[in-house]
Amino acid sequence: MERAFVKKLNFSGKNKKKFKDVESITLDVENGVAEDIHEADTKFQVALFQGESDDFRGSAYEKYGVRGFCTEKFVENINTWGIEYEKLQTGDLMEIGDACIEITKLGKNCHEKCPLRKHAIACPMATKCAFAKVVSGGGVKKGSSIKMLKKQI
């Protein structure tokens, strides 16, 4: 089994709507991604996406001739590599860098009028993303190892 790691990190300052690729972020128990525009959302403090599915997000239009709402707009905080999102469960814990997060939601709800849904095209947002809350804060860098822990009881 290959090592799971952080492929990419995205951050948006509190007053900015555009995310940028960064080398590191700090995860905070009370605020999620420190100083991020979405900080303090208790259940959805951290957004994750499976890096192996990046190609679909970028090529949906070329491949199918339609753009999905979320495939175009969703920006995760942590893009992972080597995590099988299909096997994740709510409550699972991940050690990422110096931090630990708990999975709170699997997948993203599909918008009723999304063109991908209308054309019955499987959207990766339903199965390749997850949301988490911070259980133990710390720094996360590109390349940081990710270790899956047993579901929290």
Which distant-in-sequence residues (6+ apart) come within 8 Å of 47 by Cβ?
38, 74, 75, 76, 77, 78, 129, 130, 131
Question: Max Cα separation, the chain?
Answer: 45
Residue 87 lies in a domain: yes
CATH number (domain holding residue 130): 2.40.33.20
Q: Is residue 17 part of a domain?
A: no
CB 79 within 8 Å of CB 7: yes
Residue 57's pLDDT is: 65
Q: What digits encode the pLDDT tens for the residues 29-74?
A: 988 998 877 666 677 899 999 999 877 766 666 677 666 766 667 7
Q: Is residue 153 domain-resident?
A: no
CA distance 34 to 137: 10
The answer to the question of residue 113 being in a domain is yes
pLDDT at 139 over 60: yes
Residue of 72, 80, 77, 50 lying closest to 143 (CA atoms): 80
Residue whose token pair is 């303090």: 40
Indicate the pTM of the whole model. Answer: 0.87
Instruction: Classify burial at 2, counting beta carbons within 10 Å of its beta carbon; exposed 0-12, middle 13-18, buried 19 or more.
Output: exposed
Domain that holds residue 58: 5-9+22-144
> What's the number of domains the chain is made of?
1
Whether 114 maps to a domain, the answer reads yes
Higher model confidence: residue 104 or residue 69?
Answer: 104
